Homo-oligomer: A and B are copies of this chain.
């Protein structure tokens, strides 16, 4: 008997029939003797619908009020799933974020979880109930509703698993595990049985869309055993995220190719090259709670410097506006940008012991005539910013170049 936290995303609960399927899967685990806590997202399409309503009233919706509106999506799903479980004879009880006291900071629309009160859930589990918790949402110190940002339900699930010291946290999604890259782009992509925490962290942050990065960080911090599985197929093993590199495993140099279209590039030219300038530029962006991803600084003309960085696309306009406001303060020449770019990355623990990985990447892209706009590297990844239209081509040629294509049977 184990305590399992299961998370089902928007597609898995996207219709009444699918909610019933989730109920049957949960019931199976329950009948096998396990305690089950289920975390759910909003029904697919619902969050977009609510965002559209908000944006038709305010170009940039008030963050506190946006969270009030967005958090209703998951609240509907928890109630419906509880009904679906009860209708097949499984006792179940739902909790919103504030009811289970998912305390967060006050960063509306991208809040971070600080603590969870597990008392009520433990009591329900003891009484044989399935506990259903709304993902993506919490409550701050003022009693205001907060949300964790897109994909935040994964983080909710891992945080609950950590708080409950669950034996495993299972993330059910519309793929059956973590792939070497997106199989819709590269049909030769194959599923990884295991992936290291570090690799997963890079893949998640780079937009593999399988798991939200913060959930992987959380899992690493609290040593939560995390597994990605398909909610559509039965009996799959999915991909287990391991904490230690398996010495016996024959490892490929590169584990996967990720791409992230949620990127917009911003350039500031002709900034006086003096200490503190990076802080002046990025500080104003950080104060607005906009995440900055890649950062590149180059020497410009006559004692000036050129500065580039990327932000999520939905923060692009806001970031541009902030920089226009501080432009004169920092004495910058020109602020512009491009939100039709993509970040393509190669990730792998094997990279550490092999030279020439980056140069293979650059050569492969050059052979296809793809221009590289920005480059950033870490110990186990290399990322480049290229024109969005080359996303699929770049991913395909890199997948092949690093020997990730499925072996022909």
Contact = CB atoms under 8 A, between A and B. Distances in A.
17 contacts: A19-B57, A50-B76, A54-B79, A54-B80, A57-B83, A57-B84, A58-B84, A58-B86, A62-B82, A65-B80, A65-B83, A65-B86, A65-B94, A69-B75, A69-B80, A72-B75, A99-B144
A99 B143 contact: yes
Interface residues of A, number: 38
A167 B363 CA distance: 76
Nearest to A19: B57
A109 interface: no
Nearest to A139: B99
A177 to B, nearest CB: 30
Contact of A65 (B19, B73, B79, B143): B79
Interface string A73-96: 101101110111011000001101
A57 B94 contact: no
Contacts of A82: 62, 65, 68
A96 B68 contact: yes
Contacts of A67: 79
A56 interface: yes
Nearest to A61: B83
A69 B72 CA distance: 8
A93 B143 CA distance: 13
A61 B16 CA distance: 14
- Most chain B CB inside 10 Å of its own CB: which residue of A50, A65, A93: A65
A61 B94 CA distance: 14
A16 B57 contact: yes
Contacts of A16: 53, 56-57
A292 B54 CA distance: 42
Nearest to A71: B75
Nearest to A99: B143
Q: Ordered nearest first, which 3 A-B pairs have the shortest CB separation?
A: A72-B72, A69-B79, A68-B79
A402 interface: no
A66 B62 CA distance: 29
B53 A76 contact: yes
A99 B99 CA distance: 12
Nearest to A20: B57
Nearest to A74: B72
A316 interface: no
A345 to B, nearest CB: 37
Contacts of A144: 99
Contacts of A98: 98
B94 A68 contact: yes
Interface in A135-162: 143-145
